[in-house]
Amino acid sequence: MVVERNCARDTGQTYEELLASLIESARLISGKLSLDEVEDIIVAEARRLFDAKAGWLFFYDSKDDLLKIERFWGPNEEAFRGFSVRPGEGISGVVFLTQQPEVTLKADKYLTLIPNTTTLPDDAPALAVFPLSVGGRRIGVIGITSETVSKKGLTEDEFNSVVSAFANHIAIALDTALLFEEKKKVELELKNSVQRLQMINEIGIDVIKDLDLSVIIRKVARYTTDIFNTDAAVINLGNKDGTVIEAAYFYNMSPETEEIFLTKQTIARRVFEYPRRVLINDYPEHAWALTEFIELGVKSLIMVPVISKGRVLATLSAVSFREERVFIEDDFDELEFVARHVAVAIENTRLYYEQVETRKKMEDYASQLRMLNDFSQRITREGNSQDMAEQLAKSARTLFNCAVSVVLLCKNSMDEIPTLSWSTDGSQSCNIEPFEVDLSTHSGLYSEMFRTKKTLRLNDISDHPHFKGLPEHHMHMRGLLGAPLLDSNDEFIGQVMVSNKKDGSDFTESDEELLVALCAQVAIGIERVEAYEREHSIAETLQQAILTAPVNLPGVEIGTIYESAAEAAKVGGDFYDLFELGDGTIGILIGDVSGKGLEAATITLMVKSTIRAFAYRGLSPADILTEANKVICRQLGFNQFVTMLYGALDPGTGRMIISRAGHPEIIIWVKNKCVFCCDESNLPVGVMEDIIYEQSEIILSQGDGVILYTDGLTEARCKNELLGEDVLIDELNKIIHGKDSQEVACGLVNIAKDFVSGKPQDDIAVVVLKLKPREGC
């Protein structure tokens, strides 16, 4: 609302002076960064610029829904105190809501604008209430009484423009100061977080370097009070079973507190009985509160169980004696992090003292352990399970200084007959024989460990039921120690028995422990070897399936070879396939799956079947790769892909259409010379699902051929040098004369072997097809 006032005067000089003062004011205000400084400079500048002897300033933070500044000044301060920024309430509320200024230059208008005002002098100053906003966001209101209009003779428009500019300046300054304070707040929170993390890190370091549990826990209690800004901290340590509080450690609490923790039904005891997190901000009013702790001044606490391997080791709590310290759910994260350090400290310390207790005992038979390690290494170096059984029988007899040892080894399937390996004193070799006894029904010695999977230690075996039903040729046994061989799934795979100690002594508990340790290590080796043998068998089967191709196809002479660079049980990712399509065309596929092993072999079989499926539908090579890529993309995992080349050859016309997916170029064999076919290539299959593959066409004459290969050929490496395409073609052209397809395929592999002086580092697959002359030609 603007009230007009007629006044004849010369305004140029005073208005320009006011504008200059406004510019200086903006500079002064923008130089302040804290809200308090900005608030003070705004009031000072309002007084200086507008003779604002009275006024008010509201600054509202919409993000936090808080009134950050509520400032009144001047002789009419009490009259202004009814103002607010509540939308629509009073003049300030209206201006805040509508974002339209209210200006009056007449005293009689005050009565409708200012509460509790009944009379004012006729020469009362002008009143201006302006909204404060930044970027369309409402942040406050400023109201002033100004004598500038009358003293400097400003027009209403001039007065409004100057006050409006002033309001814009202070709005930006207030918003900037708020951002600055928020920045300082964030920096402070970050600094506090860093300090807390440093303290947590110090706890972790102390846990590692110190094995005195009482010292560590007292340090943790002190650190906990610092991390959570509390008055005290308590750690109640349980016994080994986690059922009873064994000791209480605390920081900044009276010594008699320990007796309360150990004898009373405290919250810590409840947490031991039923592990849970506890947060109480009104402890005196809580149902679990104890009078003794109320009298000590406890106001709030937060507690977590210290857990390791599913067992409560202790409780950790932060305690406050101040009502203003209120814990929140987020505090649990840091407290549980500290609790994990405490768990490590407890476990490490207990383990340390347990080790100290057993050290002397361990030293007594350290030499036996060294022997055990030596024997275990010898045994596990054997290449098959039967050899391992023989070595185990010999080693066990030596380790325990016995006259005889027996190893019973079951095969992969319980349907297969187990074998016995005997080692006797004075014999350098083992007796190996089949054990044709059903362990599941046999009631004698050998079936006992099969049923129980437990060790057997007998020093008096006369008339013992376990020795009934032994084979007739079984030797006499005086005392016996046996242990089962169990695989990683705790399944029985055999057993070891030693008997007849040469010195006539009994088998001891230490002997039993040693035999169990030996069996555990050897069982891992046997399981590994048998798994290796199984995988090798599977690998051979898959290799044959992957690389099987027809020997003869109409109209072409075929040559194929696969040279593996991997160990025996690892199937390479290289593959090829040749098949006849219904129209007499021959489908030719060669490729390389990323990775090796059974997974790569499985992918290879999937890829071959997918390509064949689309090929039998009569699609072009490009369409086959395009459609197959969609299917294969859904089957492959992250970082898996397949390079391949698929071609369709018509032996009758010599026309061959090929499509490449990141695979090496095809080689054209014309008479006695070979050259690369520079066709278009595409991305490997399995990289992106929406690829459209391209294809190209070559025409072969009778007697011409094509050579397809995997990158192991051109990438054969000698020191830091690759064989490469140029050298490959040169060497190939030297040997091509008078060779058939199979000889050419083998010759290519030999070129790579000669280049690396041995076995290539990568698998190589080669397919050679040569058109046969037509009959009658």
Given a contact cutoff of 8 angstroms between Cβ atoms, the answer to whether 71 and 52 are in contact is: no
Sort strands 126-134 and 102-104 into parallel, antiparallel or unpaired: antiparallel
Instruction: Report the amino acid identity of residue 719.
Output: K
Does residue 185 carry a pLDDT above 60? yes
The mean per-residue pLDDT over the stretch 525-547 comes to: 71
Is 210-361 in CATH node 3.20.20.70? no
Segment 692-736, tens digit of pLDDT: 999 999 999 999 999 999 999 999 998 889 999 999 999 999 999
Does residue 619 carry a pLDDT above 90? yes
Rounded CA separation 182/33 (Å) = 11
Asked whether this chain's domains 12-182 and 210-361 adopt the same fold, the reply is yes
At residue 94 the predicted structure's pLDDT band, cuts being 50, 70 and 90, is confident
The domain ranges of the chain are 12-182, 210-361, 366-535, 548-771
Segment 504-522, tens digit of pLDDT: 888 888 888 888 888 888 8
The mean per-residue pLDDT over the stretch 185-207 comes to: 66
The mean per-residue pLDDT over the stretch 306-311 comes to: 87
pLDDT in the model for residue 430: 60
Instruction: Report the amino acid identity of residue 367.
Output: S
pLDDT in the model for residue 366: 65
The mean per-residue pLDDT over the stretch 432-446 comes to: 64
CA angle, 99 then 100 then 106, to 5°: 145
Sort strands 696-699 and 66-73 into parallel, antiparallel or unpaired: unpaired
Instruction: Report the amino acid identity of residue 641.
Output: F
Instruction: Report the amino acid identity of residue 490.
Output: D
Q: What is the DSSP string of 252-275?
A: SS-TTHHHHHHHS--HHHHHHHS-
Segment 637-681, tens digit of pLDDT: 888 999 999 999 999 999 999 999 999 999 999 988 999 987 778
Given a contact cutoff of 8 angstroms between Cβ atoms, the answer to whether 263 and 245 are in contact is: no
pLDDT in the model for residue 651: 94
Rounded CA separation 451/594 (Å) = 46
Q: Provide the terminal-to-terminal Cα distance of the chain, rounded to the nearest Å.
A: 110
At residue 399 the predicted structure's pLDDT band, cuts being 50, 70 and 90, is confident
Residues 6+ apart with CB under 8 A from 476: none
Helix (H) or strand (E) holding 304: strand 300-308
The mean per-residue pLDDT over the stretch 207-227 comes to: 78
How many residues are recorded in the chain?
777
At residue 567 the predicted structure's pLDDT band, cuts being 50, 70 and 90, is low
What CA–CA distances, in Å, run from 288 to 282, 309, 560?
Answer: 11, 28, 83
Rounded CA separation 746/127 (Å) = 104
Burial 497-522 (b: 16+ CB within 10 A, else e): bbbbbeeeeebeeebbebbbbbbebb
Max Cα–Cα distance, the chain, nearest Å: 140
Does residue 119 carry a pLDDT above 60? no
pLDDT in the model for residue 355: 76
Is pLDDT larger for residue 103 or for residue 436?
Answer: 103
> In the CATH scheme, what is the homologous superfamily, with its name and number, of domain 12-182?
GAF domain (3.30.450.40)
Q: Which two tokens stand for residue 668?
A: 């054209």
What CA–CA distances, in Å, run from 251 to 192, 280, 355, 610, 675?
Answer: 21, 19, 30, 70, 85
pLDDT in the model for residue 192: 61
Sort strands 311-320 and 232-238 into parallel, antiparallel or unpaired: antiparallel
At residue 118 the predicted structure's pLDDT band, cuts being 50, 70 and 90, is very low
Class of CATH domain 366-535: alpha beta
Highest mean pLDDT among 6-20, 201-215, 453-467, 707-721 belongs to 707-721
Given a contact cutoff of 8 angstroms between Cβ atoms, the answer to whether 94 and 103 are in contact is: no
Question: Lowest-pLDDT range, 288-302, 347-361, 364-378, 590-604?
Answer: 364-378
The mean per-residue pLDDT over the stretch 32-55 comes to: 84
The rounded percent of the chain whose pLDDT value lies above 90 is: 28
Instruction: Report the amino acid identity of residue 755.
Output: F
pLDDT in the model for residue 456: 84
Topology, domain 548-771 = Phosphatase 2c; domain 1 (3.60.40)
Helix (H) or strand (E) holding 48: helix 35-50
Given a contact cutoff of 8 angstroms between Cβ atoms, the answer to whether 402 and 387 are in contact is: no
Q: How many CB atoms lie within 10 A of CB 188?
A: 10
Is pLDDT larger for residue 205 or for residue 326?
Answer: 326
pLDDT in the model for residue 10: 44
The mean per-residue pLDDT over the stretch 623-648 comes to: 93
Does residue 503 carry a pLDDT above 80? yes
Burial 525-560 (b: 16+ CB within 10 A, else e): bbbebbebeebeeebeebbeebbebeeebebbbbbb
Segment 156-173, tens digit of pLDDT: 788 888 888 888 988 888
Question: Lowest-pLDDT range, 116-130, 265-279, 594-608?
Answer: 116-130
DSSP state for residue 662 in the 8-state scheme? B
pLDDT in the model for residue 751: 94
User: What's this model's pTM, rounded to 2 decimal places?
Assistant: 0.43
The mean per-residue pLDDT over the stretch 478-489 comes to: 84
DSSP state for residue 675 in the 8-state scheme? E
- Which residues does residue 561 pair with via DSSP β-bridges, in sequence order? 766
The mean per-residue pLDDT over the stretch 281-290 comes to: 93
Rounded CA separation 233/228 (Å) = 10
CA atoms 250, 256, 261, 265: torsion sign: negative
Rounded CA separation 90/398 (Å) = 103
Rounded CA separation 447/485 (Å) = 13
Rounded CA separation 235/221 (Å) = 7
SS3 assignment, position 292: helix
At residue 437 the predicted structure's pLDDT band, cuts being 50, 70 and 90, is low
pLDDT in the model for residue 154: 74
- Which residues does residue 131 pair with via DSSP β-bridges, in sequence order? 141
At residue 408 the predicted structure's pLDDT band, cuts being 50, 70 and 90, is confident
At residue 200 the predicted structure's pLDDT band, cuts being 50, 70 and 90, is low
pLDDT in the model for residue 209: 64
What CA–CA distances, in Å, run from 564 to 569, 694, 714?
Answer: 11, 31, 15
At residue 766 the predicted structure's pLDDT band, cuts being 50, 70 and 90, is very high
Burial 633-653 (b: 16+ CB within 10 A, else e): beebeeebbbbbbbbbbbbee
pLDDT in the model for residue 395: 82
Does residue 569 carry a pLDDT above 50? no
The mean per-residue pLDDT over the stretch 564-581 comes to: 76
Which residue, 587, 576, 559, is CA-closest to 649?
Answer: 587
Q: What does the mean pLDDT of the chain come to?
A: 81
